[in-house]
Amino acid sequence: MIAQLWQYVLAGVVVGAIYALIAAGFVLIYQVTGLINFAQGEFAMIGAMTSSALATGGMPVLEAAAIAVLVASVTGGLCYLLAIRPARAATGVTLIFITLGLDVALRGLGLFVWGTNPLSLPAFSGGAAITVLGGALPPQAMWVLLTDLLVFAALYLFFRHTYAGTAVRAAVANPPIASTFGIPLRTFAFWSFVAAAAIGGLGGVVVAPITSATYDMGLTLGLAGFVAAVLGGLDSLPGALVGGFVLGIVEKLAGGVLSTGWEQGVGFLILVLVLVLRPQGLLGRAARRA
């Protein structure tokens, strides 16, 4: 029994790592623009589908992965330029609907380009399953966790130890005043979309060998990413990391103990509880804009 539960926890850690990446994208965009980007999961779909399609066509996995992240980033930038920026005078609800439209459009585009059949991506490295305290993890899990480590370390270094990162934090803290100091808010908004899409795309690439890639995977991943981000507080990158792991583990435990259909349901029940009981999230400060 305990061994079984432990196995669920390990599986939860792996999906949680993916959720954390998508949640990080939400947090980036939310911090810089005050916008919840409902299309975030689709960037992961684009990453997963592009890399799988290229690898199926015979390209080496790491090359395919790099191109996929690039494609996702370009998509993210285009989303901002074509849909968000022209409507920047709009109010909150309109912008929510616009990102909702982006989500639907990108999923439809994925269907156009890749069809309904699932694609698969070979694991980045072969080898036997890794055993952790009696539970088994696929070798790909190490790549997933390594990606999380690198991405969050890079974000930390960027925000804490670079000039540009400090400028972004200033822009987040007080947009009008940052603007009078010559900080280009709109450029930052653009790059937040590019970065969020790149991170989301990377999440899709590393998860593809585990779950395989389908055109409609973005919705589920995106929603889980939301829950993780809200759980962590929406304006906190460490919160996104913690929220991702908490959600992944709880989902897999619920899925294992109840039935897999409940995985998503339990995630949303947590979301609702958090929204009611602690809207600022586990690690977030009191909500500013929400």
Query: What residue ranges bind another protein (CB under 8 A)?
Result: 35-36, 38, 82-83, 86-87, 90, 92-94, 96-98, 100-109, 111-112, 115-116, 219, 223, 226-227, 230, 259, 261-262, 264-265, 268-269, 271-272, 275-276, 279, 287, 289-290
Closest to another protein by CB, 90 or 173:
90
Residue 235 CB, nearest distance to another protein (Å)? 12
Rounded to a whole number of angstroms, the minimum distance from the CB of residue 248 to another protein is 17
| 3-class secondary structure, 11 | helix
DSSP string, 252-271: HHHHHHS-TTHHHHHHHHHH
Q: Are 191 and 168 in contact (CB under 8 A)?
A: no
Distance in Å, CB of 168 to another protein, minimum: 20
Nearest residue to 211 (alpha-carbon basis) of 284, 144, 282: 144
Give the dihedral of Cα atoms 252, 230, 69, 126; nearest 10 deg.
Answer: -20
Which contacts (CB < 8 Å, 24+ apart) does range 95-99 have? 95/35, 96/36, 96/38, 99/35, 99/36, 99/37, 99/38, 99/39
End-to-end CA distance of the chain: 42
| Residue number with CB closer to another protein (26 or 143) | 26
Q: How far is the CB of 223 from another protein (least distance, A)?
A: 7
59 or 290: CB nearest another protein? 290
Q: Which is nearer to another protein, 22 or 65 (CB)?
A: 22
Smallest distance from the beta carbon of 257 to another protein, in angstroms? 13
Which CB, 187 or 259, lies closer to another protein? 259
